[in-house]
């Protein structure tokens, strides 16, 4: 049985109905599943190192299960590792250092899960690992933040359980790349937008373009210069033309405030930089342009169409190539 099927089976087996309707502080109704409702209703104490240490004092062996757990229920039976050597347990204990107090509440069931066993092989605790950052124990209300989660994942990796550390390092790499993409995006932003940017940036990367447009018009009176600056900005994103960071939509929205003819006029007024070519190709081949201006591509001069196709045709990004083919090569 797959992980998702096991979770669904567990939810269906609860006494409560699958979902409960709650009313939030703002009066809005929300649906919560049994696991979230149990968490919200919990009066358990918050994590402490002292409580964890008291259990570790009794640990003589540990079994590592591949999947997560809920309370005292394991969500899978695959055992990845069993360790009982005193040196292994002592090394594990060193990794189990936490920050006292609430460490948030991850929305997943975690995994892998450590089953702590006593000298007589009775279960002392189930501790699920959450993304190498925290551990969850049903004696605590919230998750416990690990002081150095990598140490715990390295303990597992040294004993043959490699995937958690690999996933952790892959996520670290993604976060580094996201930060680099963000910094490059800010560096490419037209300087006229800088004073308004922080106030326009909302939750989850959403951007209010109204104050940005006003700032751009004040700082760059020439319309052609504004369009070229925005194309440069739009062409300096993370790379994908779909599945890109939400904040990149700001440049596209601002560009779509100009008519297609005005954009073409600005593009034809100068020799475009690689970033401006990328921005123009991304704009004209994009989903928003096709939906808002279904006949807009007919306005593109053949020379511009060829230039944009030449810019994109050798890309290794299948989605980008597919969009460019439909827009410029057909």
Q: Render pLDDT for 74-99 as a digit per residue (tens, 0 to 9).
A: 999 999 999 999 999 999 999 999 99
Q: Which of 164, 189, 208 corresponds to the end of one domain? A: 164
Same domain, 184 and 307: yes
Same domain, 107 and 152: yes
What is the model's pLDDT at position 258? 97
Position 301 in a domain: yes
Position 6 in a domain: no
Same domain, 186 and 55: no
CA dist., res. 220 & res. 193, Å (int): 10
Position 24 in a domain: no
Position 37 in a domain: no
How does the average pLDDT of the chain come out, rounded?
92
Same domain, 237 and 141: no
Cα atoms found within 13 Å of the Cα of residue 173, Cβ hemisphere only: 6
Query: Sign of the CA dihedral 100, 103, 105, 106?
Result: negative
Q: Which of 164, 188, 220 corresponds to the end of one domain? A: 164
Same domain, 208 and 229: yes
Same domain, 129 and 196: no
Among the listed residues 170, 162, 148, 72, the one whose alpha carbon sits nearest the alpha carbon of residue 112: 162
What is the model's pLDDT at position 38? 82
pLDDT band, residue 5 (cuts 50/70/90): low
CA dist., res. 297 & res. 291, Å (int): 11
Expressed in percent and rounded to 5, the helix, strand and coil fractions of the chain are 50, 15, 35
Same domain, 194 and 91: no
pLDDT band, residue 39 (cuts 50/70/90): confident
pLDDT in tens, 208-232: 999 999 999 999 999 999 999 999 9
CA dist., res. 201 & res. 246, Å (int): 11
Same domain, 133 and 180: no
For residue 115, give its domain range.
42-164
Paired residues of 76 in beta bridges: none
pLDDT band, residue 8 (cuts 50/70/90): low
Instruction: Give the chain's domain count.
Output: 2
CA dist., res. 30 & res. 16, Å (int): 16
pTM for this entry: 0.79
pLDDT in tens, 231-270: 999 999 999 999 999 999 999 999 999 999 999 999 999 9
Same domain, 150 and 200: no
Could you tell me which residues come within 8 angstroms of residue 226 by beta carbon, excluding any fewer than 6 positions away? Answer: 190, 216, 217, 220
Position 80 in a domain: yes
Same domain, 213 and 307: yes
What is the model's pLDDT at position 10? 54
Same domain, 241 and 264: yes
Same domain, 276 and 305: yes
């Amino acid at each position: 049985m797959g992980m998702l099927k096991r979770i669904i089976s567990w939810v269906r087996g609860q006494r409560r109905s699958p979902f409960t309707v709650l009313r939030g502080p703002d009066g809005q109704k929300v649906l919560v599943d049994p696991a979230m409702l149990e968490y919200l209703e919990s009066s358990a104490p918050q994590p402490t190192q002292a409580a964890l240490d008291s259990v570790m004092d009794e640990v003589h062996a540990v079994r590592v299960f591949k999947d997560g757990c809920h309370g005292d229920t394991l969500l899978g039976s695959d055992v990845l590792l069993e360790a009982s050597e005193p040196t292994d347990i002592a090394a594990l204990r060193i990794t189990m250092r936490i920050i006292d107090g609430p460490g948030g509440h991850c929305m997943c069931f975690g995994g892998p899960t450590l089953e702590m066993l006593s000298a007589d092989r009775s279960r002392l605790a189930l501790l699920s690992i959450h993304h190498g950052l925290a551990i969850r124990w049903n004696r605590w209300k919230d998750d416990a933040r690990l002081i150095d989660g990598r140490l715990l994942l390295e303990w597992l990796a040294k004993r043959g359980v490699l995937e958690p550390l690999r996933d952790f390092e892959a996520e670290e790499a993604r976060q580094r790349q996201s930060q680099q993409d963000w910094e490059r995006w800010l560096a490419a932003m037209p300087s006229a937008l800088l004073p308004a940017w922080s106030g326009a940036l909302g939750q989850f990367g959403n951007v209010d373009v109204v104050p940005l447009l006003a700032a751009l018009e004040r700082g760059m009176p020439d319309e052609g210069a504004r369009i070229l600056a925005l194309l440069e900005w739009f062409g300096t994103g993370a790379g994908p033309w779909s599945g890109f960071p939400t904040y990149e939509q700001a440049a596209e929205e601002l560009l779509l405030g100009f008519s297609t003819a005005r954009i073409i006029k600005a593009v034809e007024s100068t020799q475009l930089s690689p970033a401006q070519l990328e921005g123009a190709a991304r704009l004209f081949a994009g989903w928003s342009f096709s939906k808002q201006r279904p006949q807009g591509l007919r306005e593109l001069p053949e020379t511009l169409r060829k230039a944009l196709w030449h810019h994109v045709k050798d890309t290794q990004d299948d989605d980008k190539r597919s969009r460019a083919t439909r827009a410029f090569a057909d």
